[in-house]
Amino acid sequence: MSKFQPIEFYKNKKNEYSLLPFRFEPLSEVNYAVTNLVGEHLIIPRETLEDFVKHKLDSSSPHYINLRAKHFLVDDKTQIAKELLSIKLKTKYRVLSEFTGLHIFVVSLRCEHSCPYCQVSRQSDDKIKFDMSTDIADKSIDLALRSPSKNIKIEFQGGEPLLNFPLIKYIVNAAKSKQKEKNLSFVIATNLALITEEILLFCKQHGILISTSLDGPKDIHNLNRPRPGGNSYEKAVEGIQMVRAHLGIDAVSALMTTTKNSLGRVKEIIDEYLKFSFTGIFLRPLSPYGFALKTKTYSAYDANKWHDFYLEGLEYIIDLNKTGVKFREYYTSTILTKIFTSQEPGYVDLMSPSGIGIGAIVYNYDGLVYASDESRMLAEMGDTSFELGNVLTNSYEDIFLNPKLLDPIEESFAFSVPMCNDCAFETYCGADPVFHHAIYKDFVGRKPESEFCNRNMKIFKYLIERMDSEPYIKRLFMSWAQSNA
């Protein structure tokens, strides 16, 4: 008896197979991307797709074998696919039952910077008016610790949160004293202009991480971020070095904001990140909220210009990797994690059901609770559509069962949104009701006209085609997916 089955064994002589649920989108005149419920993908010609759906695909063709291997069909050789899909899907949605993991505390709205695109800040010395009180902090901590999530991350934001550092100390100590079985972690999102040895000693003692802003070379950063003395860049760089000296090289991460000043200079911006030994960059689009919209900086460039900026940056990063420099683009990594793994990276904008409230929540300095950071930015512009309550007067149930949270989550769930429900990239994408409400005044928007949809659709198609074009890129992208998981 032979050790292996003969090749005939693997042939499905009658071409009898059943389709498993899948969706498709055209990539070009010839090729189509097909994806299944858990995000497995293939590229096949339109002709093959039609043959496949009409049960005319030969079981010995390479396309058939790939479609079977990736759980797009079941035949008499494979019946386990349904169970495997269930398990992978269960893993993907596991994050839903964990509920809110990220709790943002806006400890002060005051800031010594006056960035034109900044969503929320006040140049003021009025601590009473713009700083969070200990009463509000206590109530917010209680709400945060009511979350079913075992892992609770508290992120301090502003304004500039270091302007109210005594309250940060108070919250860290108070949360730790009440944490019981929860795992707590803390992050301060700061421009680092006010960082001191004393603050860093406290951070070291409590394992607090730092998230800062670095918009690129000195001229771009200082143009984006005016402050008295015009030295925001110098302060940030000095601060990054101080944090690393006290807390270690990985204790500080940086975020960049794209403005019209950044366009055409993506390589210089990436070089700046390399200069300071960061291992990746998040090429963020400018958000359409707050002063960014009011001061017209949002309309200063359109989605296509950002797309060119992003692609030029991504290709530059790929080239860097080819020369042995390990560096990633984080938005791409988040998408790749969704493409290649059953893990949900938890990036609020790319979650469906939307991550507002259930992925992250904001406790504002004045006690008001918002469904996301972007929601409080909208509120600063007078739109309180996502204001969920007040920590001083509302219960956990009032806040998390507020129709202002549940309605947008339900309405924007991509599984049931026109066009999203049959889009091949739905499993990679998100709902983002706050963005659509801000721009189109409804939680869903018309997807063919949605900047969010167009931007992401172009990226998904580009990444899938790019991987198909070069084995090296596929290996690289798979490594980015794993390290982000």
Partner 1 sequence: MEANLIFDANIYSIDAIKKACYRNINRFAVNISKEEDTINCNITFKNTVTESQIKIYLDDFMKEVLDQDLRESIKKETEGVRNLILAHTFSKTGLIKDE
Closer to partner 1 at the Cβ: 246 or 307? 307
Under the binding rule (CB under 8 A), the answer on residue 125 touching partner 1 is: no
Local structure of residue 251 (DSSP, 8 states): G
Half-sphere exposure of 243 (CA within 13 A, CB side): 29
The structure tokens listed for 453 are: 């949809």
Site string for partner 1, 75-104 (x = CB under 8 A): -------xx-xx--xx--x--xx-------
Rounded CA separation 58/18 (Å):
13
User: Which window, 114-122, 243-251, 266-274, 414-422, contacts partner 1 (CB under 8 A)?
Assistant: 414-422
| Start-to-end C-alpha separation, the chain | 44
Query: Is residue 50 within the footprint of partner 1 (CB under 8 A)?
Result: yes
- Cβ distance 313 to 267 under 8 Å? yes
Restricted to residues 304-323, the positions that interact with partner 1 (CB under 8 A) are none
Go through the chain and tell me how many residues it has.
Answer: 485
Q: Which is nearer to partner 1, 266 or 417 (CB)?
A: 417
Phi and psi torsions of 411, nearest 5°? -65, -30
- Residue 422 interacting with partner 1 (CB under 8 A): yes
Nearer to partner 1, 57 or 314 (CB): 57
CA–CA gap between residue 309 and residue 329 (Å, rounded): 13
Q: Pick the binder of partner 1 from 274, 419, 473, 478 (CB under 8 A).
A: 419
* 20 is a contact residue toward partner 1 (CB under 8 A): yes
Residue 281: which of 300, 262, 299 has the closest Cα? 262
Q: How many whole angstroms separate alpha carbon 274 and alpha carbon 163? A: 30
Site mask, partner 1, residues 320-339, x = CB under 8 A? --------------------
Our CB check for partner 1 shows the closer of 47 and 470 to be 47
Contact call for residue 171 and partner 1 (CB under 8 A): no
- Report the residue number, 115 or 424, with the smaller CB distance to partner 1: 424
Answer yes or no whether residue 26 interacts with partner 1 by CB under 8 A.
yes
Beta-strand pair 31-36/151-157: unpaired
Q: Does 58 engage in binding with partner 1 (CB under 8 A)?
A: no
Provide, rounded to whole angstroms, the least separation between the CB of residue 335 and partner 1. 22
Candidate list 53, 65, 249, 406; residue touching partner 1; CB under 8 A: 53
Q: Which is closer to partner 1, CB of 36 or CB of 213?
A: 36
Query: Among 117, 366, 357, which residue's Cα sits nearest to residue 221?
Result: 117
Contact assessment for residue 349 and residue 409, using Cβ atoms and an 8 Å cutoff? no
Give the nearest distance from C-beta 231 to partner 1 in angstroms. Answer: 45
Let me know: does 405 contact 388? Beta carbons within 8 Å: yes
Using rule CB under 8 A, residue 54 touches partner 1: yes
Q: Which of 27, 43, 49, 388 binds partner 1 (CB under 8 A)?
A: 49
- Find the binder of partner 1 among 449, 469, 472, 475 (CB under 8 A): 449
At closest approach, how far in Å is the CB of 29 from partner 1?
Answer: 9
**Spatial distance between the Cα atoms of 377 and 118, rounded to a whole number of angstroms:** 9
Tell me: does residue 418 bind partner 1 (CB under 8 A): yes
Q: What is the DSSP string of 115-155?
A: -TT-SS-B----HHHHB--HHHHHHHHHHHHHSS-SEEEEE
Measured distance CA(333)–CA(336) in Å, rounded: 5
Place of tokens 């269960």: 90
255 binds partner 1 (CB under 8 A): no
Specify the residue, 75 or 312, whose C-beta has the smaller distance to partner 1: 75
Q: Is 131 left (phi over 0), alpha (psi -120 to 50) or beta?
A: beta
DSSP 293: H
Spatial contact of 217 and 269, defined as CB atoms under 8 Å apart: yes
Q: Does 179 bind partner 1 (CB under 8 A)?
A: no
For partner 1, give the closer residue by CB, 70 or 103.
70
Least spacing, CB of residue 22 vs partner 1, in Å: 7
Cβ of residue 189: shortest distance to partner 1, in angstroms?
Answer: 33
**What's the min distance (Å) between Cβ of 459 and partner 1?**
18
Residues with Cβ within 8 Å of residue 387, at least 6 apart in sequence: 368, 369, 370, 375, 379, 404
Q: Residue 19 interacts with partner 1 (CB under 8 A)?
A: yes
Q: List contacts with partner 1 (CB under 8 A).
A: 18-24, 26, 37, 49-50, 53-54, 82-83, 85-86, 89-90, 93, 96-97, 418-419, 422, 446, 448-449
